[in-house]
Amino acid sequence: MEMQPPHTLELADGVRTQWLESTARLTNVARLELYVKVASRARASRSVNDDSPRIERTIETGMAVRVVRAGSAFAGFASASGRSGESLRWVIERACSFTANVTSATPVEPAEREDAVLDLDPESALPQDAELSDAIALGRTVEWAEAGTTTEVLVGFDGRSSARRRNRFWAMTSGATPRLIARRGFTSWRRLLDAQPVGPSSSSIEMGGRLVFEPEAAAPLVGLLVDAYHGASSEPEMKSVGMGWVVSDEPRSSEGLAGGVLDDAGFRTSSRIFVSRGVPGDIIGGPGTFWRRSYG
């Protein structure tokens, strides 16, 4: 039987029960925040000897907690793989030692806010083994293809919870121009692979005396420049940019691979303009931008 992602609401109920039981046992710590992640993945990859594609199905789980003393500006933090009761007791014990400190910042929500915030992609089954295997066997340049559903549940210090589910598809093609393909959702992923070019292409072209990069080549450069010009640690003298540099963040976009209604600490997200027509705006940082990189 092929493994499939857990039901999100059942997972959220289980995490909240763990939070309630753990909170009742704490005596010297005022508040507890619990984060749990479950990722289910199905991957097909081309074998070295070009035999039948290799199929792998995995489920990864992990948890993290913050505990905070009353009046403290810092919280104890710990994380671990797995989501058993034993793992939870271990991370709480480690966090209560306060050997690893993080911010104790937490959202201030109105009293009338709903008890649970749900930010869920459609509940969809992962592609079947035969579908992924055919994508490798029939695709001349497809080296591997992977589909995954990540479900995250956060129960905050006040007991309010949020849940996020994301369905994502990735693939790597080879040939003259290797490409990493990624998209949100499982619909039309076969057509996405079929549309990939087989022949070589240039990563940059000359246009009117200017060097213009294709998206695949430009992406890592743009990421580095955005962090340098608009990150929390960017230098003031780097704020001056040209009219062609326009950067905004849309964390709630339905096409984004990451992001959502809430960040990973439970703060509400919103659209941000970092620069438009040469005029600097927001910087990357603060509530609404807290993301757990290790849980990408």
Q: 3-state SS of 89-103?
A: HHHHHHHHCCCCEEE
Tell me the average pLDDT across 12-38.
Answer: 89
83 three-class SS: coil
Residue 13 has pLDDT above 60, yes or no: yes
Residue 88 has pLDDT above 60, yes or no: yes
Mean pLDDT check: name the lowest of 119-123, 217-221, 269-273. 217-221
Helix (H) or strand (E) holding 61, with range, is strand 54-68
Mean of per-residue pLDDT scores for the chain: 83
Rounded Cα distance between 19 and 32, Å, is 8
pTM for this prediction: 0.82
Interstrand relation of 74-81 and 179-184 (parallel, antiparallel or unpaired): unpaired
Tell me the average pLDDT across 51-62.
Answer: 90
**pLDDT on residue 285:** 81
Residue 206 has pLDDT above 60, yes or no: no
Confidence of residue 215 (pLDDT cuts 50, 70, 90): confident
Q: Where are the alpha helices (DSSP H) in the chain?
A: 8-25, 85-96, 129-138, 189-194, 215-230
Rounded Cα distance between 41 and 222, Å, is 29
DSSP conformation class of 268: B
Residue 113 has pLDDT above 90, yes or no: no
Instruction: Select the CATH number that applies to the domain covering 8-194 from these four: 3.40.50.450, 3.40.50.300, 3.30.2290.10, 3.90.1150.10.
Output: 3.30.2290.10
Residue spans per domain, the chain? 8-194, 204-295
Q: Phi/psi of residue 246, each to 5°? A: -125, 120
Residue 280 or 104, more confident = 104
**pLDDT on residue 295:** 38
Residue 231 or 46, more confident = 46
**pLDDT on residue 40:** 94
Residue 9 or 29, more confident = 9
Confidence of residue 196 (pLDDT cuts 50, 70, 90): low
**pLDDT on residue 119:** 93
